[in-house]
Structure 1
């Protein structure tokens, strides 16, 4: 039984973390994405690096069996076994620059229950404000979903369309490990293949939702030659490290851009929209 009224007492809870953007973290971020690294003080840091800055740093002894911090601190103690990043949005206000102190202010906005195809789901919405040297750089909404143990339901949608622009991605174990290390993400589904298969019932390591979102934002930025002003995304089905997948993009009539990830013959895994 889930006591939703108790969980909703976490609404309004806040947390603050800070970190200085060093040339070293910019170099590691760029290397992870096979991108050139410009890392001199005062230069703009790469788009989406804010997801790698000032992550929660729980002691190893305080991690749960899935590698996440034990529940009941900043995030509510949802009594469901599995936790995933369900979606979110970004509003980009300004640059984060190398050498600046970045502070993330986080607030629990909402906690709600919903009946899914295989059981109860609990959604937690977190708002983040990311300041760089005291300037507002990014506003972010993060949607987290909790569900019961066991493999997720199989996708029911048909094959995804092909984008006007397409790029193949190889989700190697090294890429997933590096992104977990960049974000200090201990969730074992991204780097511990025996755990992912034998405990959570997946066919392989799961490609991070934030990693997919970062790849799509960077694709949109490259195609238009400018960072979007707004970007929103939603995870529909998982991607694993056992097959290459595609990044897709297509211009919309209103000037925005639709983006999505998918296997070449599979349904949409993540859908997104970029607006300039």
Structure 2
């Protein structure tokens, strides 16, 4: 079994402090496509852009020949070259200080904040925290931290029985079309979200995997609906994988919201906090 001794954490920490910038323009078309994809799950922001749309702006435009076998950009560059095969978006934090609007020229400044290792029950994990400041002119619109986790490829077990279905009204069910549309909106090439043979035969999931950011978007909009404003802040994290064809219900408590399958398995949670 792989261990943290197999990687040079001191070398990888040399990426801490690295920065990059990217910019993009919010368009009416992007807002319309985002709303068409997520519909009633979005908080009504009126003429402002919906919450979560910022993840569609200025995605990394990596040439095809610079992609790794999983569809992600090959290791190195801005992110440290962690040699573990699997990379997932584990969680993060968001603070929405000001809305984005159609026509805004948005700048995103990103910085590697930390690289840490942990020996988990299933093997070694390396966490990379990336801080983003999203601004329009001299106005900070969104402050964000993304927590990425890397781990070695896991041995494939026997395929889990899986019959895709749609849940009752009020539940969310990831389906191939919605996952494709969200991947297209965010220019996300990770094959676990659209390539069924790859995700089942190479990565060992029962079906296409529902994006972590998509689930976080459902939760941040639920928090905004409850608060009656898009000026919210939250911490969020993934709890267990969610695949296409598994309905989840939104559960709300005073200090957290989460998504839960009908078997009681929680897949994603968010906790509101003060701006």
Q: Structure 1-normalised TM-score?
A: 0.88
Q: Tell me if 1:129 matches 2:133.
A: yes
What are the equivalent positions in structure 2 for 1:212-251 lying under 5 Å apart?
212-251=215-254
Provide the C-alpha distance between the structure 2 equivalents of 1:22 and 1:190, rounded to a whole number of angstroms. Answer: 25
Partner of 2:15: 10
Distance change in 2, residues 1:185/1:168 (3 Å):
same
Aligned partner of 1:261 in structure 2 is 259
Contact 2:45–2:230 at 8 Å: present in 1 too? no
Q: 1:274 aligns with which of 256, 272, 275?
A: 272
Q: CA deviation at 1:114?
A: 0.3
Look up the match of 1:140.
Answer: 144
Paired residues in the alignment total: 257
Change in 2 beyond 3 A, CA 1:74/1:271: same
- 1:31 corresponds to: 36
The Cα shift of 1:151 comes to: 5.9
Structural RMSD (CA): 2.1
The superposition leaves residues 10-42 of structure 1 with CA deviations (integer Å, 9 ceiling, x where unpaired) of 0001111100101111111111112599999xx
Counterpart for residue 101 of structure 1: 105
Counterparts in 2 of 1:128 and 1:37: CA distance versus 1, 3 Å: closer
Match of 1:175 in 2: 178
For structure 1, which segment, 43-52 or 66-75, has the greater mean C-alpha deviation from structure 2 after superposition? 43-52
Change (3 A) 1:152 1:44: farther
Unpaired runs of 5+ in structure 2?
1-5, 158-168
Report the Cα distance in structure 1 between the residues aligned to 2:11 and 2:156, rounded to whole angstroms: 26
3-state SS, counterpart of residue 182 of structure 1: helix
Aligned to 1:45: 49
User: TM-score scaled by structure 2?
Assistant: 0.88
